Chain A
Amino acid sequence: MITIDMDSREPMFSQLVAQIKKAILDKTIGPGDALPSIRQLANDLDINAKTVAKAYDLLERDNVIEKKGYRGTFVHPNAYSNSQFDLEDWLDEQLASLLAILKTSGATDSEIRIAFNKVMSQQIKGK
């Protein structure tokens, strides 16, 4: 069972991702288990189906769940190990080490921010 706190500052989709990963790590659900449909989960939690869809997309990207077309959504065979990986922590680590390199080379905070935003916007345009 999962619980969503509507008053929490954490976005609902990330609460959902965390709760589903927790259920896998607690072994409440295991590899190959069928998950409820987006509509069912959205109905049960009384939230927008797009929020659940976003959470499912992120979990699929992280190989925690897999979608099998009309058959539904299932827990990925490697879900347990993949659930232990925290992308947010990994990003924090990567950015911290990169920032350390940039600061050693003498770049100021505002120069780093401007350069970061520039590269990000170029990436978005490139899409």
Chain B
Amino acid sequence: MMNLSDPAIVWFYIAVALQISVTTVIIPLKIKSQFGKYLSFYTEEDHPALYTSSSKVIDYALRFYLLMSISMAGASFYFLYSSFTNKQELFNWDNQSGIMVLFLMSLLPLFFLIFVNKRYFKLLKDHASKKRTASLTIRRWQDFIPKFSIALLILGHILFVAVNQYFQLHPFDGFAGYVNYLGVIFLDTVNVVAISLIIKGKNLSQVKGEDKKRIFQARAIKINVTIWIVAIYYLVIALLLAGAELRDYALVIQSLYFVLIYVMVNKLFVSSSDITPPHSTA
């Protein structure tokens, strides 16, 4: 039974409600409206070259995406409501795992969008110009990642090692010890591989123009590095809160962390500065 008068529990419910609202309602609505703007600014009649699929098919995919998101919102809020009224942990199971399940549920519509986007990119590739361009300058990771971000990453790692070593000497109940380093090594490996793949620029031949390719790469790397930085500091904060016996507040931080990850991932799809006044190409 959870004590609903505990402020940490109240904050937990507020954070989870915010997580559900952002990931299954606010961002999906924003994505739908952003793509809707694209469709109305660059109409199929005026810009036929942009439409590798009819506007009706694109609109249908977007409506389906929004319907999926709203369904997930309904289900998620129902689970949250039943947890609150029954004074039980999420899914009658565990709050920490429950937040993870809600996050995965919110990702399902996004996976659908990624699948559609991948097909769209393949179509773009098939329709790409037969003239391909490339730059004769080498690309290095230093050109994409600012020194400030590298400094933040190094500092985050030093903090993590320091905090982990401290709790190694003064362990709390449930402390994983040196196993925590495996998690950080996994996190670092995933990010290094992802960034190096983006820098190599595979499958970017459908993006016309070297400058646009570089902008796309820079944006993808910036998002990746931001998620990496946030992840390492989240681990440090989670360890500190667990060590201070404030695990319920750690759940609040975890929920906020998922919201941030979701927002950053969605930045790959939409950016409010992308739409420029249309010029007819018909």
Q: Which residues of A contact B (CB under 8 A)?
A: 1-7, 20, 23, 28-29, 34-37, 39-41, 43-47, 72
Q: Which of A1, A6, A7 contacts B135 (CB 8 A)?
A: A1
The contact string, 1 if C-beta is below 8 Å from chain A, for chain B 118-136, is 0000000000001111111
What total count of A-B pairs have CB within 8 Å?
63
Provide the bound-state CA to CA distance between A36 and B139, in Å: 7
Q: Are A40 and B200 in contact (CB under 8 A)?
A: yes
Which B residues between 109 and 160 are near A, CB-CB below 8 angstroms? Answer: 130-139
Looking across the interface, which residue of chain A has its beta carbon closest to that of B133?
A3
12 further A-B pairs in the complex, CB-CB below 8 A; given A6-B132, A44-B132: A1-B210, A3-B133, A5-B130, A5-B131, A7-B130, A36-B134, A37-B138, A40-B138, A44-B134, A44-B135, A44-B204, A46-B203
B71 within 8 A of A: no
Provide the bound-state CA to CA distance between A5 and B132, in Å: 6
What DSSP secondary structure best describes chain A's contact surface?
mixed
Q: Which residues of B contact A (CB under 8 A)?
A: 130-139, 200-205, 210, 213
What DSSP secondary structure best describes chain B's contact surface?
loop
Q: Are A23 and B136 in contact (CB under 8 A)?
A: yes
Provide the bound-state CA to CA distance between A23 and B137, in Å: 11
Provide the bound-state CA to CA distance between A28 and B133, in Å: 15
Q: Are A3 and B131 in contact (CB under 8 A)?
A: yes
5 A-B pairs with the lowest CB-CB distances in the bound complex, closest first: A46-B205, A44-B134, A6-B130, A7-B130, A45-B132
